[in-house]
Amino acid sequence: MQTNVANQTSNITVEDDRTGLSIETLKRAFADNLFYIQGKLAILANFTDYYMALSYTTRDRLLQRWLQTLKVYHEQDIKTVYYLSAEFLMGRHLGNSLINLDLYESIEQAVKESGLDLTEVLEQEPDPGLGNGGLGRLAACFLDSLATLEIPAMGYGIRYEFGIFNQSIQHGWQVEIPDKWLKCGNPWEVVRYESTVQVKFGGHTEVYNDDRGRPHTRWIPSFTVEGIPHDTPVPGYQTNTVNTLRLWKAEAGEDFNFQAFNSGDYDGAVATKIKSETISKVLYPNDNTPQGRQLRLEQQFFFVSCSLQDIIRRHLKKYGRLDNLADHAAVQLNDTHPAISIAEMMRLLVDDHHMFWDEAWRITQSTFAYTNHTLMPEALEKWGVPLFESLLPRHLEIIYEINHRFLQDVQTWFPDDDELLLRLSIIEEGGGKKVRMANLATVGSHAVNGVAALHTELLKQDVLKDFYKLWPEKFNNKTNGVTPRRWVLLANPTFSELITEKIGGTWLKHLDELRKLETFIDDKDFRDRWRQVKQANKQKLADYIMAHNCVEVDVNSIFDIQVKRIHEYKRQHLDLLHIIGLYLRIKQNPNIKMTPRTFVFGGKAAPGYFMAKLIIKAINAVADVVNRDPDVHGRIKVVFLANFSASLGQLIYPAADLSEQISTAGKEASGTGNMKFTMNGALTIGTLDGANIEIREEVGEDNFFLFGLTAAEVEKMKYEGYNPRDYYESNEELRNVLDRLAMGYFSPGEKDLFKPLVDSLLHHDEYMLLADYQAYSDCQAKVSEAYKDVEHWTTMSILNVARSGKFSSDRTIKEYCDEIWKVKPVKVELEPYDPARA
Ligand code: GL7
């Protein structure tokens, strides 16, 4: 094109179609991409074509910053953060890139002048669901903050061909549908074939002598898989820094076995190819309940080995030595999923780079740090030794050696405490030996952190208490946070505009500045607009509910929302018991006065988790009865929104009045949805669990609806013998609620459908719903009362937002940078781009 030519000769004085920012240039670039990349004439293009063309137009505007960032990182002497995570729930890229590049308004205008509506185009993007829930989304928020804070960083993970399944609801039940997110192509990734790495599996080890007669071990694998890097740019907000998310795709080393092919064994010829590619095929849809399957261990080792080889290769290229690796690399293990890193790093240093064990161990320990994300005992990863041995024979040897040396140290520190040795050992004895990944991660890291103050305390006192006794200085807390760019600015634009109008726009990078909103607390116009924004957001959600669930909801009712993965410890069914309680009150007294409520649920159940699926069915069954009963007169409505995801979250959080954070105290490590609701002006009803505690501390106890047992009380009651039946027998309403569920009132024709749910509550009640029922119900009554006082509710809502600054992931990341990673920001200055000289 003419402008490009002009650009090359005149050193970007003329706007380039690839970088120019004027509306005219953007329109031309969009049309050009539609024609040349999508291969479509505008009159024949569909919305996917528009989305693709617009994504390329936006990506072009990222590339100069991205490549310049890579150049600066290559040239300067820096320390880089490597965030290793089996999950990255990035959310849609296009809207976020436009926001972070400050391009949103211009593109909106350009698209409008091309006859299109930007929001409709944005909706075309498949939500890249390469994660299950909080843990994967946290990784994505961290990448956003790292780039925004100009920290050299890289995310490493797996490029799953199928992300978290799509959930549809059929006859009230969850049905899982494969997520073919790549079917129309992915404009956000760049494949870097030249950086392919080889990953070994299986086989055996042998000892050999090198030229100087020194003995070494080598690993002879039974098969090798290739890891192909797929890079996605991660732009910071209003900065030149664009970091990289590198996801590995597994491919066969050779396309197929020629010998087999030539001898006519066509199936055998492609078998290895299929086996290799299976490794990055699909995300395990488990959240807080890992599956001990071989493929899962293969996935973990695959992305760990690719990533560590990549880090070492780049480091060697730059510095030519490895002894200073820890000065230039900080590797964070996001839970135990990448914990095999400890053994793989030792193998790479000792076997491949012939380093002495002690030196390698020093480097490993000073490079790695580990974040624990759960106290749930069933979620702590352990791998059977036989599986380990067949898949990673060399790593098992290394783990035994690490363990041997570690336990020797323990013995000198604490002589004659065999019980302690058994608890600390990386290998669990008895009932089939197992490798304990949390122990491996803790021993091999210089820092171990929990994700909220209570969680870290419980780690120290409970799950990792013996390690805490050994190394108290390793343990530290890093309360989670979320990025206000996606969760406020992108999700809630009119609300953001109102805030910016009052306090200026810098709050998006310094969330503590939201405090300034408190000076407007008596400003009538501000308060009116605050309510208008919430009302409009509720209307948008109401429209969505009508379109998807065919349920009409009252936007003047309390929007009472619980969205998160379905899990018994999160207690969606406690919410449901309360709803049934209200319904029975209406049935007993049809004229009863009640503050109208709309109960909204959303969340996926792990496909193999029967009870979680039954809870979804129960919510839908209750919804069917309640929503259709004319006696209710619309006072309560119940809605289950299918397929909760990051993008649906962007619609939901801004529309909430009440955020349900009702996990059994001590079970939710942190929670991050709680923060997203708070930042968008919802009040919380919650237990003293995870980050709820810190949210309440920040917003003030008068602006938070607290109920329920504390973590200590839960433990005490369990210890003393908890009997849920006592509550059933002494609480009439609770008894009626459970009886109705159990006798099939909500499941006509299937009398016993919900019996397993009720039985589990009456006989075990692991998560103490019955113990907390009355406190919850009383607290909900206070919510209803409070909502009637519109002015007071508005004040509480404003205060929640004004005091939510702590929960920006920027704050969290700064703490990681200062206290664990010891890294500093690096400025990226743009240079004029000149293709002729590049
Ligand atoms: C989780 C915790 O359950 C959740 O409370 C926390 O906010 C999140 C991020 O730290 O990590 N742990 C976990 O295994 N999953 C989580 O979401 C899946």
Residue 588 has pLDDT above 80, yes or no: yes
Which of 88, 380, 448, 670 best tests ligand 1's pocket when mutated (most atoms within 8 Å of CB)?
A: 670
Q: Which atom of ligand 1 sits closest to the CA of residue 137?
A: 9
Pick the catalytic residue from 527, 570, 571, 667: 570
Q: Is the pTM of this model over 0.90?
A: yes
Is residue 689 within 8 A of residue 454, CB to CB? The reply is yes
The percent of residues above 70 in pLDDT, for the chain, comes to: 97
Per-residue confidence (pLDDT) for residue 12, from 0 to 100: 45
* Beta strands 190-191; 223-235: pairing state: antiparallel
Per-residue confidence (pLDDT) for residue 412, from 0 to 100: 96
Pick the catalytic residue from 637, 676, 696, 803: 676
Residue 260 has pLDDT above 80, yes or no: no
Which of 89, 451, 454 best tests ligand 1's pocket when mutated (most atoms within 8 Å of CB)?
A: 451
Confidence of residue 38 (pLDDT cuts 50, 70, 90): very high
The percent of residues above 90 in pLDDT, for the chain, comes to: 92
Ligand 1 centroid to residue 87 C-alpha, Å: 12
Q: Which residue has the tokens 């609801």?
A: 169
Per-residue confidence (pLDDT) for residue 266, from 0 to 100: 77
DSSP at 661? E
Per-residue confidence (pLDDT) for residue 431, from 0 to 100: 85
> What confidence tens digit (pLDDT) does each residue in 315-373 have?
999 999 999 999 999 999 999 999 999 999 999 999 999 999 999 999 999 999 999 99
| Cβ-proximal residues to 369 (8 Å cutoff; 6+ apart), any chain | 330, 331, 332, 333, 445, 446, 447, 448, 449, 820, 821
Q: Does the annotation count 570 as an active-site position?
A: yes
Per-residue confidence (pLDDT) for residue 4, from 0 to 100: 40
> What confidence tens digit (pLDDT) does each residue in 788-838 have?
999 999 999 999 999 999 999 999 999 999 999 999 999 999 987 666 555
Tell whether the torsion through CA atoms of 71, 72, 76 and 79 is positive or negative.
Answer: negative
For 158, the 3-state DSSP assignment is strand
Residue 696 has pLDDT above 60, yes or no: yes
> What mean pLDDT comes out for the span 522-535?
98
Crossing angle (nearest 10°) for helices 23-36 and 47-75: 110
Q: What distance in Å separates the CA atoms of residue 813 and residue 147, rounded to the nearest whole number? A: 10
What is the chain's Cα-based Rg?
A: 28
Residue 5 has pLDDT above 60, yes or no: no
Residue 561: closest CA among 428, 726, 677:
677
> What mean pLDDT comes out for the span 432-454?
98
Ligand 1 centroid to residue 197 C-alpha, Å: 31
Crossing angle (nearest 10°) for helices 732-742 and 572-588: 100
Residue 734 has pLDDT above 90, yes or no: yes
Q: Does the annotation count 93 as an active-site position?
A: no
Q: Which residues line ligand 1 (CB under 6 A)?
A: 132-135, 138, 287-288, 373-374, 379, 451, 480, 668-672, 690
What's the farthest any 2 CA atoms get from each other in the chain? 93
Q: CA distances (Å), 169 to each of 174, 567, 603, 645, 822, in order? A: 5, 17, 11, 15, 47
| 92 alpha-carbon distance from chain centroid | 13
Residue 749 has pLDDT above 60, yes or no: yes
Per-residue confidence (pLDDT) for residue 272, from 0 to 100: 81
> What confidence tens digit (pLDDT) does each residue in 461-514 have?
999 999 999 999 999 999 999 999 999 999 999 999 999 999 999 999 999 999
Residue 6 has pLDDT above 70, yes or no: no
Instruction: Quote the mean pLDDT of the chain.
Output: 95
> What confidence tens digit (pLDDT) does each residue in 97-137 have?
999 999 999 999 999 999 999 999 999 999 999 999 999 99
Per-residue confidence (pLDDT) for residue 8, from 0 to 100: 44
Q: Where would I find the beta strands (DSSP E) of 604-744?
A: 636-641, 658-661, 683-686, 705-706
Span of 158-167, 255-264, 311-320, 455-464 with lowest mean pLDDT: 255-264
Ligand 1 centroid to residue 809 C-alpha, Å: 15
Q: Which atom of ligand 1 sits closest to the CA of residue 287?
A: 18
Is residue 111 within 8 A of residue 95, CB to CB? The reply is no
Per-residue confidence (pLDDT) for residue 13, from 0 to 100: 52
Q: Does the annotation count 613 as an active-site position?
A: no
Residue 209 has pLDDT above 70, yes or no: yes
Per-residue confidence (pLDDT) for residue 9, from 0 to 100: 43
Q: What distance in Å separates the CA atoms of residue 338 and residue 84, rounded to the nearest whole number? A: 6
Per-residue confidence (pLDDT) for residue 59, from 0 to 100: 97
Residue 7 has pLDDT above 50, yes or no: no
Residue 254 has pLDDT above 80, yes or no: no
Tell me the DSSP string of 158-203. E--SB-SPEEEEETTEEEEE---TTTT--TT-EE-GGG-EEEEESS
Q: Does the annotation count 812 as an active-site position?
A: no
- Could you give phi then psi for residue 279, rounded to 5 degrees? -55, -40
> What confidence tens digit (pLDDT) does each residue in 286-306 have?
998 888 899 999 999 999 999
| Cβ-proximal residues to 497 (8 Å cutoff; 6+ apart), any chain | none
Ligand 1, atom 17, residue with closest C-alpha? 134
